[in-house]
Structure 1
Amino acid sequence: MARRLRPVGLGFVETAPVRLTFTHDTAAAPDAVFRALAEDVPGWAQWFAAITLARPLDGGTRREVRLRGGTRFEETVLAAKEAELYAYRVDVANVPGLRALAEEWRLAPAGTGTRVRWTFAADGAAPSRLVLKAARAGLGRSFRDAVTSLDRRLASR
């Protein structure tokens, strides 16, 4: 059953009770990575294996995302700064115990490529927070695999 989550701003990424941050480098330039994140929302399902559907809503200010296993999110874009930052919060989710969730993708030049830093920030009931913290390794692996797949996708264009 989908529930409305607490609306949070960009600052939540720094203050959330659960903050999981992962970093991975790509050969692609920051502007290409940014375009894939912010402008090619449907393309997420091609490079992020956990995602089965991603589509922009309301002219790109919101998104609908579905994950393998049936998890669904409705999101609001919080920031989209060319070649530097893409962030969004989850407004509606069908995840029990979740109270607030935001994700931030920071991009920085790394040689001729990009250092991608993803922060997953959440709040929820105590059992939910424990589950999220326990999922750290799996989320990290999923992120690294996704960024590697995105890099291959961008290289083939």
Structure 2
Amino acid sequence: MVDLLLAIAHHLLAFTLVGALAVEFAVIRPGLERAQVSVAAAADAIYGMSALLIIIVGVGRVVFGLKGWEFYIATPAFWAKMAAFGVAGVLSIRPTIVILKWRKAGHAEAIPLKDIEKVRTALKAELFFLALVPICAAAMARGY
């Protein structure tokens, strides 16, 4: 039963994370207005909390899951999945810093297009690496 609950939580958190990133990507685009920055900041906070909880629940799945930790550490697809998630996490740092900077600035100045483009590029890269996670998970479930 614990394995099932951890799996459900893990999947729901993953969908939450991707949804939050999709909101960020939809909101942060050319023409971004200061009023929308709070939406982006909220989505970014949800993204960060989801990522943290995914890690916690994921560790729980490795330790308490039916397959046992031995399965995970011996599976190359598991490590590829961890690497993809880790890269996405590192890529998320810059957008978070920029969004916080925008929020702190308030309505004082217009958001430069080059800043928006840089954040969107990072978000696209995050989406790419996050797309690798379920691919690796499918391979992992089959013992690759």
TM-score above 0.5: no
Q: Say which structure is richer in helix.
A: 2
Q: Say which structure is richer in strand.
A: 1
Structure ID, larger Rg: 2
